Amino acid sequence: MRPERQLKVWRSEAGSRLWLSGLIAAMERAAQPDQRRLPVAPETLAALRAQLALPASLRLFPSSTLRH
């Protein structure tokens, strides 16, 4: 799906629910004891920390998907 189309989908109510459902499912999987015991690659942690350091607006709409 093209980035412009993705933004329109995520901005809709159905898209928001879909995103939230995906987030909840991912968090439930990550909370499982067998998943929590697995090591996390340092690159994954670095990427996560970089994302969390950004303001929320930049995480939702990365510059690569914005049109100027």
* pLDDT tens-digit series, residues 28-41: 988 999 988 899 89
pLDDT tens string 12-32: 777 788 888 888 998 898 899
Q: d(Cα 51, Cα 62) in Å, to the nearest integer?
A: 10
Mean pLDDT of the chain: 76
Confidence of residue 64 (pLDDT cuts 50, 70, 90): low
* Alpha helices per DSSP H over 1-68: 3-11, 13-31, 33-36, 42-53, 56-60
* 58 or 40, greater pLDDT: 40
Q: What is the pLDDT of residue 5?
A: 58
